[in-house]
Amino acid sequence: MRALVVTPGRPETLRLIDIPKPKAGAGEALLRIMRVGVCATDRDIIFRGHGRTPEGYDYIILGHEAVGKVVEVDGGVDIGVGDIVVPTVRRPCPEMCPSCRAGEEDYCITGHYKEHGVWGLHGFASDYAVTDAKFIVKVPEELKEIAVLLEPTAVVVKAIEQVMVIQRRYKWSGKDMLVLGTGPIGLLSALILRLQGFNVSVLGRRPPESRKAKLVNMIDAEYIRKLTIERKYDVVIEATGSTEVVYRSLKLGKPNSVIVILGVYQPTKIEIDLGSLMTDLMQYNRVIVGSVCAGKRHFERAKEYLMEARRRYPGFLEGMITKIVKPEEFRRAIEREPDDIKNVIDFTK
């Protein structure tokens, strides 16, 4: 079968190879992969040496945003052959820490978890893939085409869930949300906040007539291209991955606000007034929270949001998918043009 693999730590090793079809073991499911989405983490693995190969391999199969069809499945789960499914990404640590034991491996304490396509487990960018059947989410036929968005949506659901829990600190009545960035995480954050009824502004760099700006307008969110220091927000979601923007984001919150850090940032030394930044956090009960990954419950909730989004904003999710390429054309999906949002590799082609 075809598999898109990379040797982490060595640039330009991304390649499509032919390897034997994997076999499902006890408790596992064998999936016929349909589509795999490409994200910033994949590009970090490809170009910046992030990622870890599975034990015994000198490469890792890429891909952690996948949708596929069940070919074989070991009993004991509510999944059957022929079901369309999305696997979650992270698997519990071998120690089974309290979080992993509680089914919250996205809050693993030991850091010894594994992640499909990222950290010690092969990903899903191949014709067939095997994963633990307990970590699979069934998706309805109607979501098939956009189900590659389920994983990033789940990541956003978890981030916003954290905000809502944090704001139980007091009788919160926040309304004004700012999303920084118009990549998949930025747009999906804006979508979910809109579905929750908030006012949403989205910062982007593309012109107002661009695809990204139009998608923002489609969900009745405001598209802005400049930040003004006078305008403050109840929640700021940082999804640009830019160190310069993240620094500015820390100053855009109202009293008692929450700044959510969702990007991966390049190591960058900058001179900042840390004293004033910390006094400011203290003086206004502000919170900065980082959010990573998502658990199965976030995938389940994300599925509901995607179904609601298709009813309320038809065309929005489809509009986020900018390229669908054959595995042989993988480079076109990895390279990112300014208007690209979610590029997808289609393993049925």
Instruction: Provide the Cα torsion 154, 155, 160, 165; round to 10°.
Output: 90
CB of 293 to its own copies, least distance (A): 8
Give the range of 77-85, 160-168, 190-198, 324-332 binding its own copies by CB under 8 A.
160-168
229 scored as a contact of its own copies (CB under 8 A): no
DSSP assignment of 111-164: S--EEETTBEE--S-BSEEEEEGGGEEE--GGGGGGGGGHHHHHHHHHHHHHHH
199 scored as a contact of its own copies (CB under 8 A): no
Nearer to its own copies, 17 or 264 (CB): 264
- Binding its own copies (rule: CB under 8 A), the pick from 280, 300, 329, 346 is 280
CB of 153 to its own copies, least distance (A): 17
- Binding its own copies (rule: CB under 8 A), the pick from 19, 74, 176, 265 is 265
- Binding its own copies (rule: CB under 8 A), the pick from 278, 308, 315, 331 is 278
- Binding its own copies (rule: CB under 8 A), the pick from 109, 142, 312, 315 is 109
Nearer to its own copies, 126 or 189 (CB): 189
198 scored as a contact of its own copies (CB under 8 A): no
CB of 39 to its own copies, least distance (A): 14
40 scored as a contact of its own copies (CB under 8 A): no
275 scored as a contact of its own copies (CB under 8 A): yes
| Residues numbered 61-80 forming contacts with its own copies, rule: CB under 8 A | none
CB 260 within 8 A of CB 162: yes
- For 303, phi then psi, to 5°, come to -60, -45
306 scored as a contact of its own copies (CB under 8 A): no
Tokens describing residue 74:
């070991």
- Work out the burial of residue 172: count CB atoms within 10 Å of its CB; fewer than 13 is exposed, 13-18 middle, 19 or more buried: middle
The number of residues making up the chain comes to 349
230 scored as a contact of its own copies (CB under 8 A): no
For 242, the 3-state DSSP assignment is: coil
Beta-sheet pairing, 65-73 with 28-38:
antiparallel
Give the range of 10-18, 213-221, 251-259, 310-318 binding its own copies by CB under 8 A.
251-259
The per-residue b/e assignment along 220-259, b for 16 or more CB within 10 angstroms, e otherwise, is ebebbeebeeeeebbbbbbbbbbeebbebbbebbbebbbb
Q: How far apart are CA 348 and CA 144, in angstroms?
A: 13
99 scored as a contact of its own copies (CB under 8 A): yes
DSSP assignment of 318-348: HHHEEEEE-GGGHHHHHS--TT--EEEEETT
267 scored as a contact of its own copies (CB under 8 A): yes
240 scored as a contact of its own copies (CB under 8 A): no
What angle separates helix 296-312 from helix 150-166, to the nearest 10 degrees? 100
Binding site for its own copies (CB under 8 A): 98-99, 102, 104, 106-109, 111, 161-162, 165-166, 168-171, 173, 238, 243, 246-247, 254-256, 261-276, 278-292
